[in-house]
């Protein structure tokens, strides 16, 4: 609050003016349109921890809020046609309140309502350094410079900068610049916190350019744990588990609360439902990583072995395989259960929601086996680590036909419940 003294001819008027001493600043972002749903979830972790670092930068006036980019334009994974899978709010897939326990977040439409118009002050188009690493040495740096490629934004007759903006074509920006960035999110802290801009809102395009400051550290896992799925998707998965897989949380000892700020969960705490789960990535992996993708016949053989080993009579399969491939698998393994993306389900939950239900059901299995280098499998493994499954039943992947049964298994990323400083102080 600030006192304002007004001198009048006969008396002095003293009044109080409310001044927001800590005004909000907004960070918006987007990804390369070719990036899939599960990679974008990883970019969210990078951006949320950038906001956390901006807020913890020691300056009282840096009240940054992360604006959640509406989901959409994921053409390969969602087979989008005519925008029906665009402009999707985060609440359709995630518990937004849970996200806010890590850093302040808001939906894009709430941002527009709060600032009063559909605009952003500045676009920072992130790009690589054209010259690459100097002398072959990696260093963290950032520099505003000419664009490496033709700009994907243009000015209209009024000088407003137009572009994609998640399908909201009325949205515009007032300033645009290309920024070469190399390194982790920390290279952006000084420029954003007053070094290069005092803009109230900054939009970082190509957010995937920014690397994790500490992949696998406490902030990474805090952000990841905050990504609790929306309640209606968890309920959908629970109904499928109960109806087709004889699985429920009480008997399976599986616990994923809305408030992720719970005491540490030890590995081996969760038992899982009486079924094994597998993620079979097909499509582009059949030629991009063909040596790591097993045939349907060998997949069936492996699933039967695992069912026998874990003494279960059901196997849940999540896959982007063709109908013919899945029919072949079911003929070889009649016990296979799948959650099919029917038109009714896709209309009700969106294609992203259908994929999430697949992931949830896989996460709650007695044993999970995934596909090498698939972010879909990575996210399932993280969910299981969060819920406290034994790591031997979590970090597994199918071997390609030429690899044999002894192929290299996934790295085991363990939750960091405490920071190095907290451990040291304790």
Residues forming the active site: 35
The phi, psi pair for 274, rounded to 5°, reads: -75, 60
- Gap between the Cα atoms of 85 and 282, Å rounded: 22
Cβ atoms 387, 265 nearer than 8 A: yes
| CA distance linking residue 300 with residue 332, whole number of Å | 6
**What is the b/e burial string over 192-209, where b = at least 16 CB atoms within 10 angstroms of the residue's CB?**
bbeebbebebbbbbbbbb
Instruction: For residues 327 and 358, give the distance between their C-alpha atoms in angstroms, rounded to a whole number.
Output: 18
CA distance 242 to 246: 5
CB burial string 365-387: b at 16+ within 10 A, e below: bbbbbbbbebbbbbbbbbbbbbb
The secondary structure element, H or E, covering residue 206 is none
DSSP letter, residue 89? -
Ranges assigned E (strand) in 241-364: 273-280, 315-319, 336-337
Q: What is d(CA 384, CA 76) in angstroms, rounded to the nearest whole number?
A: 27
Q: Which two tokens stand for residue 9?
A: 């001819």
Q: Note every long-range contact of 288-291, with CB atoms under 8 Å and residues 24 or more positions apart, other chains counting.
A: 289/372, 289/373, 290/400, 291/400, 291/402, 291/403
Q: β-strands 2-7, 12-17: how paired?
A: antiparallel
- DSSP state at residue 47: H
């Amino acid at each position: 609050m600030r006192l304002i003294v007004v001198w009048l001819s006969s008396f002095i008027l003293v009044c109080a003016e409310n001044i927001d001493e800590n005004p909000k600043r907004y960070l918006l972002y987007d990804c390369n349109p070719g990036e899939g749903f599960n990679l974008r979830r990883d970019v969210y972790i990078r951006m949320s921890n950038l906001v956390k670092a901006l807020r913890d930068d020691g300056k009282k006036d840096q009240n940054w809020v992360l604006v959640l980019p509406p989901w959409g334009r994921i053409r390969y994974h969602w087979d989008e046609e005519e925008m029906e899978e665009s402009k999707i709010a985060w609440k359709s897939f995630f518990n937004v309140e849970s996200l806010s326990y890590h850093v302040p977040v808001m939906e894009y439409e709430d941002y527009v309502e709060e600032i009063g118009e559909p605009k952003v002050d500045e676009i920072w188009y992130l790009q690589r350094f054209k010259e690459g690493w100097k002398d072959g040495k990696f260093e963290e740096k950032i520099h505003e410079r000419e664009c490496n490629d033709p700009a994907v934004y243009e000015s209209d007759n009024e000088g407003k900068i137009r572009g994609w903006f998640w399908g909201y074509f009325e949205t515009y920006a007032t300033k645009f610049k290309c920024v070469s960035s190399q390194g982790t999110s920390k290279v952006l802290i000084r420029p954003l916190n007053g070094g290069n801009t005092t803009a109230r809102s900054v939009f970082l395009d190509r957010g995937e350019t920014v690397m994790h400051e500490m992949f696998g550290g406490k902030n990474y896992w805090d952000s990841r744990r905050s990504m609790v799925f929306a309640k209606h998707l968890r309920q959908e998965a629970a109904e499928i588990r109960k109806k087709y897989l004889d699985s429920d949380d009480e008997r399976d000892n599986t616990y994923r609360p809305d408030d992720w700020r719970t005491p540490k969960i030890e590995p081996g705490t969760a038992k899982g439902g009486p079924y094994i789960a597998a993620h079979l990535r097909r499509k582009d992996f059949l030629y991009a990583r063909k040596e790591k993708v097993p045939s349907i016949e060998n997949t069936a053989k492996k699933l039967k072995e695992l069912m026998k080993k874990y003494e279960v009579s059901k196997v849940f399969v999540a896959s982007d395989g063709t109908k013919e491939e899945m029919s072949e698998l079911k003929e070889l393994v009649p016990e296979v259960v799948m959650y099919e993306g029917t038109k009714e389900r896709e209309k009700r939950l969106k294609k992203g929601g259908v994929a999430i239900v697949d992931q949830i059901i896989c996460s709650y299995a007695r044993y999970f086996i995934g596909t090498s280098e698939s972010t879909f499998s990575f996210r399932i493994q993280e969910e299981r680590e969060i819920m406290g499954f034994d790591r031997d039943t979590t970090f597994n992947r199918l071997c390609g036909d030429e690899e044999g049964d002894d192929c290299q298994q996934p790295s085991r990323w363990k939750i960091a419940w405490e920071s190095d400083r907290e451990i040291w102080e304790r």
